[in-house]
């Protein structure tokens, strides 16, 4: 706990020493976007700073998502917290439970009299971050959803139609076999397996991930990912691992090189991986929706998002919050959103930004970039596909990863793996419920 | 003959010890006390609601079968790292000690890896053995060996252990070399004249004389493997796959800083502290006995 405080103090010291051009109120924004995304984020802050002179948004990179969240929590305990912090979606339950620490966005907007209409936001995106009374608690910033990238050249070589990617899992299996015959060593691989193959698999097939509306309706939720449908899907994937129709490549996006190098012809990962895929592949590629099992659902439902949102923390001087509200309005404006969406591949958070992007002809010039939006809006979200909200979900995802890896390695069968996930995960859910009941 | 020095001023010794005592108090006792307090509480991440739960956190940690697994894994990793790095270092030191030409160059080269940070050592080995892009990893798969440390826990464990050992070889090498050079040449020459083979000379003269060095290194290596392999693990496997490379220290970090379960994490730290204390006591006892004998 000591270190982050020291760093924060050092940074703060550095800021104080910088001579200010005018007496603008500085507002710290801690975020987890490195590299090009970080630069883009900084340019958004600069854009806002240039529109007015009362407030200055100061973005500070705090490391990866977990590091940023831990730093913010530590800073809050030391009363040195920033006004805005970017928190990844699995930290949502922790933030929501921290009632005294968080300044809900809807309340902030009302208190500062900023014009704010929750209806302009895409429900499939904001649903993740609203409470049970439909109040928006945090502002979605970077949201994405899983899609399937596929190698069109390999499809051609295997005699498959490159414009007809497999729609269902059985079709995918057939295609993978044809691809393997034509010399591609592996059919498909996946990034973020818990997010893609468990959480989104469930939503896409309208199956619950947990009781109590995936935890959104209450802390007394239990995991439900050991249903026969889940066992079937994970069981098939484990069997496919043996014949390399599926080949596991690591927990996060470590599997990407398998697709880039042409080892695997299909690759399921975030829609925000689009830029990376485009930059790294030496072949024609396409983007398709996730496959579904016709035996489980006649039609797919809708996918859920991942990514991060911006939370406002209590304990800053009042003047800063007026600036935060202004900045959030700026951030939600169609031009800023459309630019961010087109540059990064993250979903736009408002309908206006989506319409603007379409009218600019972006989707026609970059085929496949609208697959993500079509997936999350495929059908009106149900209680199973609105999102999820589980406490201790960072560790639960680790457990899911652990057990999936055991299943891929053939150490346990799919049924046992999923049952263990539920047992170990429920323990953590109960611990969270106990720690946050008061 | 020991010379007894007596301070005239009664307060001077305390004054001289004070800076060190202050550092220890602020950087060890204070955080340790805070940790102990935290281990008795159940708290949400932001510290908004705190509840005293007695020994609940300890009971939870110690009755978790995975905690026992992690403990055994840590012990196995320590033993392997100590054995691998010490035996390799001893072999290299014995060779370097006998090298006639270029001995200095060998020594310098062998000490280099010590300058590599543990995290980098881990990344280096994992890149080499990466099944998709690593030179060795791709080679192994071409040879028909199903090598994938991202999936196979045993392979990941071996890789972490080897990377951690490789880094520690240099340190052990320096101590062994110094130990070897402290052995009077006359002893070995006398044995050689009596007709003892090089192998026999090593086992009956050199090895026993190196025992104090070896024992010291054993303790240092075990502690190293217990605590400092954290960086190797964090930079490579993050404890995976399937928890196959999660050690006690990594679990403390994972539960506390990733999972934000401060109480449970603090309880595990307290257990770790007890283990280190036990190791230290064992070291002093054994060293005392050696000195007495």
CA–CA gap between residue B153 and residue B9 (Å, rounded): 62
Residues A300, A204: contact at Cβ < 8 Å? yes
* Minimal Cβ distance to A66: which of B133, B241, B258: B258
Residue A262 — left, alpha, or beta (φ > 0 → left; ψ -120 to 50 → alpha)? left
Kindly list the distances between the CA atom of residue B30 and the CA atoms of A219, A334, B22, in Å, as whole numbers in the listed order: 36, 52, 10
Domains A2-144+305-359 and A146-303+386-435 equal at CATH topology level: yes
Contact (Cβ atoms closer than 8 angstroms) between residue A70 and residue B260:
yes
In chain A, residues with a C-beta closer than 8 Å to the C-beta of B44 are 94, 97-98, 435-436
The per-residue pLDDT for range A311-350, each reduced to its tens digit, is 999 999 999 999 999 999 999 999 999 999 998 889 998 9
Question: Which residues does chain B have within 8 Å of residue A262's beta carbon, measured at their own beta carbons?
Answer: none
Chain A residues lying within 8 Å of B255, measured CB to CB: 395
Please give the full DSSP string across A220-245, using - where no structure is assigned. ---B-TTSHHHHHHHHHHHHHHHHTS
Distance of CA B204 to the CA centre of its chain: 29
Q: Is A392 on the interface with B (CB under 8 A)?
A: yes
B259 and chain A in contact, CB less than 8 A: yes
**What pLDDT is attached to residue B115?**
87
Cis ω for the linkage preceding B220 (within 30 of 0) = no
Residue A7 confidence (pLDDT) above 80: no
Q: What is the arithmetic mean of pLDDT over B88-98?
A: 87
> Looking at the DSSP assignment, which residues form a beta bridge with residue A130?
A136
Q: What is the pTM of this model?
A: 0.79
Q: Is A433 in CB contact (< 8 Å) with chain B? A: no
Query: Whole-angstrom Cα distance, residue A47 to residue A330?
Result: 9
- Residue tagged 């496949």 (tokens): A368
Q: Does the distance separating the beta carbons of B49 and A438 come in below 8 Å?
A: yes
Q: In chain A, which residue's Cα lies nearest the Cα of B57?
A: A431
Q: Mutate which of B52, B130, B138, B260 to disrupt the A interface (most A C-beta within 10 Å)?
A: B260
Tokens representing residue B288 in the block: 């005392």
Tens-digit pLDDT profile for residues A160-198: 999 999 999 999 999 999 999 999 999 999 999 999 999
What gap in Å lies between CA A285 and CA A268, rounded to an integer? 13
| Reported CATH class of domain A146-303+386-435 | alpha beta
How far, in Å, CA of A60 to CA of A39, rounded?
11
Rounded to a whole number of angstroms, the distance from the CA of B269 to the nearest CA of chain A is: 14
Taking chain B, what is the end-to-end CA distance rounded to the nearest angstrom? 20
Chain B contact for A254 (CB, 8 A cutoff):
yes
Q: Which of A70, A101, A261 sits opposite B48 (nearest CB)?
A: A101
For residue A22, what pLDDT is reported? 56
* First-residue to last-residue Cα distance in chain A: 24
Distance from the Cα of A274 to chain B's closest Cα (Å) equals 21
Q: What is the mean pLDDT of residues B109-124?
A: 87
Chain B nearest CA to A401, separation (Å) = 7
From CA B73, how far away is CA B244, in angstroms rounded? 8
* Pair type for strands B50-52 and A285-288: unpaired
Starting from the edge strand earliest in sequence, which strands make up the sheet with A186-190, in order? A186-190, A264-270, A146-151, A285-288
Q: What pLDDT does residue A362 have?
A: 94
Select from A200, A221, A201, A195 the least CA-distant residue to A210.
Answer: A221
Q: Does B54 touch chain A (CB under 8 A)?
A: no
Higher pLDDT, residue A123 or A138:
A138
Q: Is A436 left (phi over 0), alpha (psi -120 to 50) or beta?
A: alpha
- Please give the pLDDT value at position B74: 93
- Give the nearest partner residue to A251 out of B45, B132, B240, using CB atoms: B240
Give me the residue spans of the domains in chain B: 55-292
In chain B, what residues touch A395 (CB-CB under 8 Å)? 254-255, 258-259, 261
Nearest to A94 among B43, B45, B47 (CB): B45
Q: Say what percent of chain A tops pLDDT 70.
A: 95
Does B137 contact A at CB distance below 8 Å?
no
Q: How much is the pLDDT for B192?
A: 87
How far off is chain A from B113, nearest CA to CA, in Å? Answer: 27
Q: Is the pLDDT of residue A5 over 80?
A: no
Q: Answer yes or no: is pLDDT of B122 > 50.
A: yes
Q: 3-state DSSP call for residue A22?
A: coil
For residues A255 and A267, the answer to whether their CB atoms sit within 8 Å is: yes
| pLDDT number for residue A6 | 52
B45 shares contact with chain A (CB less than 8 Å): yes
CB contact under 8 A, B151 and A409: yes
> Residues A136, A129: contact at Cβ < 8 Å?
yes
Q: For residues A251-277, give the mean pLDDT.
A: 91
Chain A residues with CB-CB distance to B243 below 8 A: 402
Structure-token pair, residue A260: 């880039």
Beta-carbon pairs below 8 A across chains A and B: 86
Q: What share of chain A is helix, strand, coil (3-state, %, to 5)?
A: 50, 15, 35
Q: How much is the ipTM here?
A: 0.71
Shortest CA distance from A391: residue in chain B: B259
Substitution target from A186, A263, A397, A405 for chain B, most B beta carbons within 10 A: A405
Checking if the pLDDT of A2 tops 50, the result is no
Q: So where are chain A's domains?
A: 2-144+305-359, 146-303+386-435
- The alpha-carbon gap from B131 to the nearest alpha carbon of chain A, in Å, equals 9
Put simply, whether A409 touches B (Cβ < 8 Å) is yes
Lowest mean pLDDT among A38-47, A275-284, B104-113: B104-113
Put simply, the answer to whether B44 touches A436 (Cβ < 8 Å) is yes
Per the DSSP assignment, residues forming a β-bridge with A287 are: A149
**pLDDT tens-digit readout, A21-64:** 457 899 999 999 988 889 999 999 999 999 999 999 999 999 98
**Does residue B216 carry a pLDDT above 60?**
yes
Which residues, numbered 150 to 179 in chain B, qualify as contacts with chain A under a Cβ-Cβ cut-off of 8 Å?
150-153
Residue B4 has pLDDT above 80, yes or no: no
Of A73, A254, A438, the CB nearest to B150: A254
Helices (H) and strands (E) in chain B, counts: 15, 2
CA distance B36 to B240: 29
Query: What kind of architecture, by CATH, is found in domain A2-144+305-359?
Result: 3-Layer(aba) Sandwich (3.40)
Instruction: Determine the Cα–Cα distance for residues A206 and B220; give it in Å rounded to an integer.
Output: 56
Q: Please, which residues bridge with residue B42 across strands?
A: B51
Which pLDDT value is given to residue A1?
A: 41
Q: What is the pLDDT of residues B243-257, one digit of tens each?
A: 889 999 999 998 888
What CATH code would you report for B55-292?
Answer: 1.10.3720.10
- The torsion angles phi and psi of A436, rounded to 5 degrees, stand at -120, 15
Segment B110-122 shows an average pLDDT of 87
DSSP A390-411: -TTHHHHHHHHHHHHHHHHTTS
The alpha carbon of A383 is separated from its chain's Cα centroid by a whole number of angstroms, namely 19
Put simply, the answer to whether B241 touches A254 (Cβ < 8 Å) is no
Question: CB-based contact (8 Å) between B254 and chain A?
Answer: yes
User: Would you state the pLDDT for residue B293?
Assistant: 42
């Amino acid at each position: 706990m000591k270190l982050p405080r020291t760093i924060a103090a050092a940074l703060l010291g550095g800021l104080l020493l910088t001579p200010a051009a005018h007496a603008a109120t500085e507002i710290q924004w801690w975020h987890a976007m490195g590299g090009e995304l970080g630069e883009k984020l900084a340019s958004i802050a600069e854009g806002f700073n240039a529109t007015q002179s009362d407030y200055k948004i100061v973005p500070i990179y705090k490391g990866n998502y977990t590091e940023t969240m831990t730093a913010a929590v530590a800073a809050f305990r030391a009363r040195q917290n920033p006004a805005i912090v970017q928190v990844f979606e699995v930290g949502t339950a922790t933030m929501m439970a921290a009632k005294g620490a968080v300044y809900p966005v809807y309340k902030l907007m009302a208190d500062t009299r900023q014009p704010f209409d929750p209806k302009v936001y895409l429900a499939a995106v904001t649903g993740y971050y609203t409470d049970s009374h439909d109040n928006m608690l945090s502002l979605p910033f970077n949201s994405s959803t899983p899609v399937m990238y596929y190698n069109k050249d390999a499809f051609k070589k295997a005699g498959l139609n490159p414009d007809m990617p497999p729609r269902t899992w059985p079709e995918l299996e057939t295609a993978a076999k044809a691809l393997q015959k034509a010399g591609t060593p592996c059919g498909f691989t996946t990034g973020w397996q818990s997010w893609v193959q468990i959480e989104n698999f469930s939503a896409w097939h309208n199956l619950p991930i947990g009781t109590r509306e995936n935890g959104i309706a209450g802390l007394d939720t239990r995991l439900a990912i050991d249903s026969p449908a889940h066992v079937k899907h994970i069981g098939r994937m484990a069997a496919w691992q043996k014949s390399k129709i599926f080949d596991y490549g690591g927990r996060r996006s470590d599997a990407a090189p398998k697709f880039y190098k042409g080892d695997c012809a299909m690759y399921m990962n975030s829609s925000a991986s689009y830029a990376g895929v485009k930059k790294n592949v030496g072949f024609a590629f396409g983007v398709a929706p996730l496959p579904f099992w016709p035996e489980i659902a006649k039609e797919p439902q809708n996918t859920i998002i991942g990514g991060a949102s911006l939370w406002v923390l209590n304990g800053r001087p009042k003047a800063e919050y007026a600036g935060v509200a202004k900045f959030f309005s700026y951030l939600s404006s169609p031009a800023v959103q459309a630019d961010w969406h087109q540059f990064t591949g993250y979903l736009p958070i408002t309908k206006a930004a989506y319409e603007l992007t379409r009218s600019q002809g972006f989707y026609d010039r970059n085929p496949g970039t609208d697959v993500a939006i079509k997936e999350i809006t495929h059908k009106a979200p149900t209680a199973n596909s609105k999102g999820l909200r589980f406490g201790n979900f960072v560790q639960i995802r680790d457990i899911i990863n652990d057990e999936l890896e055991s299943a891929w390695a053939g150490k346990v069968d799919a049924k046992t793996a999923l049952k263990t996930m539920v047992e170990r995960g429920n323990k953590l859910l109960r611990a969270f419920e106990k720690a946050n009941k008061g | 003959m020991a010379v007894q020095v007596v301070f005239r001023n009664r307060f001077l010794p305390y004054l001289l010890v004070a800076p060190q005592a202050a550092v220890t108090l602020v950087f060890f006792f204070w955080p340790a006390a805070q940790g102990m307090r935290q281990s008795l509480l159940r708290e949400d991440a932001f510290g908004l609601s705190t509840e005293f739960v007695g020994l609940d956190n300890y009971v939870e940690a110690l009755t978790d079968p995975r905690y026992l697994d992690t403990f055994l894994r840590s012990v196995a990793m320590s033993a392997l790292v100590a054995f691998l790095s010490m035996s390799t270092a001893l072999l290299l030191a014995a060779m370097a000690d006998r090298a006639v030409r270029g001995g200095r160059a060998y020594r310098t080269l062998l000490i280099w890896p010590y300058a590599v940070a543990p995290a980098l050592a881990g990344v280096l080995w994992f890149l080499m053995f990466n099944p998709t892009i690593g030179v060795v990893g791709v080679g192994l798969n071409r040879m028909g060996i199903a090598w994938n440390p991202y999936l196979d826990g045993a392979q990941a464990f071996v890789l972490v252990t080897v990377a951690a050992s490789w880094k520690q070889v240099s340190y052990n090498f320096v101590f062994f070399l110094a130990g070897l050079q402290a052995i009077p040449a006359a002893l070995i020459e006398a044995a050689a004249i009596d007709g003892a083979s090089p192998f026999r000379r090593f086992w009956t003269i050199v090895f026993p004389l190196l025992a104090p060095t070896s024992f010291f290194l054993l303790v240092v290596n075990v502690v190293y493997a217990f605590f400092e392999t954290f960086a190797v693990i964090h930079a490579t496997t993050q404890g995976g796959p399937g928890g196959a490379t999660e050690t006690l220290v990594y679990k403390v970090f994972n539960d506390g800083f990733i999972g934000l379960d401060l109480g449970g994490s603090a309880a595990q730290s307290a257990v770790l502290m007890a283990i280190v204390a036990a190791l230290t006591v064992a070291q002093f006892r054994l060293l005392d006995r050696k000195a007495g004998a």
